[in-house]
Amino acid sequence: MLGTLATTVALHRHFRSERAIAADETTYWVVVDESFELHVEACAYLAGLRGADRAYNTERTYAGRIALYLSYCREFGVDWTRPSLAQLMVMMRWLVDEPLPPRGRRPDPEPRFRSKETANAIMGTVGEFLSWSALQGWVPASVVSQLVQPKFLHFAPPGFDPGEDGQHRAIQARRIKFRVAVRGYEWLSDEQITQIIDCTTHARDRFLVSLLAVTGVRIGEALGLRREDMHFLPDSTALGCRIEGPHIHVRRRLNSNGAFAKSAQSRWIPVEADTVALYADYRYERDEVTEAAGCDMVFVNLFHAPLGEPMKYPSTYELFKRLAKRAGFTARPHMFRHSAITRWVRSGVPRDVAQNMAGHAAPQSMDPYTHATDQDKRDAVKMVAAKRREARA
């Protein structure tokens, strides 16, 4: 009965995530009900994330997922502290079967659904929340034990230490999880990046795309840049910086547009004269909008309200969707980061230098960015074929 009900009744949002501002003006996330009463256990879990120095965007994402879980439990009569394995599996199925609410005021032309990868991510957060709550005594240990099952890793992932006798290969794997194909990592060729840049109609957008392609910064890091971070002079001594040559600084801050640097460690990334010239073009364009004069953020709204306000994630992703449509191929912001890092590695940049510019804390985080291109595969086949011809001759 529960499974049928869950796939035919739209969910009422009994709980939701909200951004809160403390007395010292620090920003954090909470979960509240319809009366704006705090959900104590959820808020305590989110506070634990902050105490563990998890990223601000991680806290925001987890808050939304936990609010969704609590709303689901309230709607379908599930005790959130004691869900059965069957109830959690029904929820996992519901996540991909239930249409998403429309974006904005106008209904979407076609219903949108969550992917199985997204459902896995949500259920993973639910499992973490329940496990943490069990440590506090709010959830029975039996609930947590049903979430995992023993598994032996026959093929260990890159960077995994199996132990001298393979003892670490026996792990506890998630029981509630869709089986999904591992997607290949997507990147753009130099020609495709040039094509995207040619599709831009404003200096601001041209600079944004070029900056992502050259520096490999994440989109959140780019939107979080401030004018004081742009050291585009040959000598930045006057700015209190001893780094020679034009460069940008990437720093973790809380910004009004929600942009956030994933890496806690500040870093700087050099740029070339072409990037500096594009920034100068953008400054001329920006100076024509008087509302933008008082904003210290680099990327601001220049062509639609609210003018002069920092650009946010949704409008930026819409920009890249328009550019991709004009170019005729997919071009998401993270693909430019992947392309930049791949280009560094393939050009012979030392791995530790590329890791530093990318802002990765662990060396194994560089593994996804080192992959064979289509030309590499074709060259390999041609080389083997040439050797065979030589052997026959």
pLDDT at position 38 is 96
- Pick the closest to residue 72 from 138, 6, 3 (CA basis): 6
Work out the angle at residue 325's Cα, subtended by the Cα atoms of residues 321 and 329, and round it to the nearest 5 degrees: 100
Torsional sign, CA 103, 105, 108, 112? positive
Average confidence (pLDDT) over 133-147: 94
Beta bridge partners of 158: none
**Could you give the residue range(s) of every CATH 1.10.443.10 domain in the chain?**
190-369
- The region of weakest confidence among 53-62, 113-122, 162-171, 239-248 is 162-171
3 state SS for 12-41: CCCEEEEEEECCCCCEEEEEEECCCCECHH
Q: How confident is the model at residue 370 (pLDDT cuts 50, 70, 90)?
A: low
Count of CB atoms situated within 10 Å of the CB of 125: 20
pTM for the predicted model, two decimal places: 0.73
pLDDT per position as a tens digit, 188-227? 989 999 999 999 999 999 999 999 999 999 999 999 999 9
- Pick the closest to residue 70 from 99, 120, 32, 35 (CA basis): 32
For residues 155 and 160, give the distance between their C-alpha atoms in angstroms, rounded to a whole number: 10
Q: How confident is the model at residue 372 (pLDDT cuts 50, 70, 90)?
A: low
Interaxial angle between packed helices 56-75 and 40-51, expressed in degrees from 0 to 180 and rounded to the nearest 10: 160
pLDDT per position as a tens digit, 300-350? 999 999 999 999 998 999 999 999 999 999 999 999 999 999 889 888 888
Res 71 pLDDT > 80: yes
Q: What is the residue type of 29? A: W
pLDDT at position 54 is 82
pLDDT at position 269 is 96
Res 3 pLDDT > 50: no
Average confidence (pLDDT) over 145-159: 72
pLDDT at position 7 is 43
pLDDT at position 152 is 65
pLDDT at position 150 is 72
Q: Are 117 and 182 in contact (CB under 8 A)?
A: no
CA distances from 87 to 3, 136, 138, 150, 216 (A): 8, 23, 19, 21, 42
Average confidence (pLDDT) over 36-54: 93
pLDDT per position as a tens digit, 261-296? 877 789 999 999 999 999 999 999 999 999 999 999
Q: Are 257 and 310 in contact (CB under 8 A)?
A: yes
- The region of weakest confidence among 87-96, 238-247, 342-351, 365-374 is 365-374
Question: For a pLDDT cut of 70, what percent of the chain falls above it?
Answer: 86
Q: What is the residue type of 185? A: Y
pLDDT at position 155 is 64
Q: How confident is the model at residue 1 (pLDDT cuts 50, 70, 90)?
A: very low
- Whole-number average pLDDT of the chain: 87
Q: Which residue has the higher pLDDT, 375 or 4?
A: 375
Res 164 pLDDT > 80: no
Beta bridge partners of 269: 248
Locate 225 and state its tokens.
Answer: 């840049």
Beta-carbon contacts of 217 under 8 Å, excluding residues fewer than 6 positions away, are 211, 248, 250, 269, 337, 359
Alpha-carbon radius of gyration of the chain = 24
Average confidence (pLDDT) over 60-78: 96
Q: Phi then psi for 244, rounded to 5 degrees?
A: -85, 150
**Fold of domain 190-369:** hpI Integrase; Chain A (1.10.443)
- The region of weakest confidence among 154-163, 233-242, 381-390 is 154-163
pLDDT at position 320 is 96
Beta bridge partners of 31: 17
Beta-carbon contacts of 304 under 8 Å, excluding residues fewer than 6 positions away, are none
Q: Which residue has the higher pLDDT, 232 or 390?
A: 232
3 state SS for the chain: CHHHHHHHCCCCCCEEEEEEECCCCCEEEEEEECCCCECHHHHHHHHHHHHCCCCHHHHHHHHHHHHHHHHHHHHCCCCCCCCCHHHHHHHHHHHHHCCCCCCCCCCCCCCCCCCHHHHHHHHHHHHHHHHHHHHCCCCCHHHHHCCEEEEECCCCCCCCCCCCCCHHHEEEEECCCCCCCCCCCCCCCHHHHHHHHHHCCCHHHHHHHHHHHHHCCCHHHHHCCEHHHEECCCECHHHCCCCECCEEEECCCCCCCCCCCCCCCCEEEECCHHHHHHHHHHHHHHHCCHHHCCCCECCECCCCCCCCCECCHHHHHHHHHHHHHHHCCCCCHHHHHHHHHHHHHHCCCCHHHHHHHHCCCCHHHHHHHCCCCHHHHHHHHHHHHHHHHHHHC
Count of CB atoms situated within 10 Å of the CB of 302: 19
Average confidence (pLDDT) over 36-43: 96
pLDDT per position as a tens digit, 13-22? 899 999 898 8
Q: Examine residue 306 and say whether the peptide bond preceding it is cis (omega within 30 degrees of 0).
A: yes
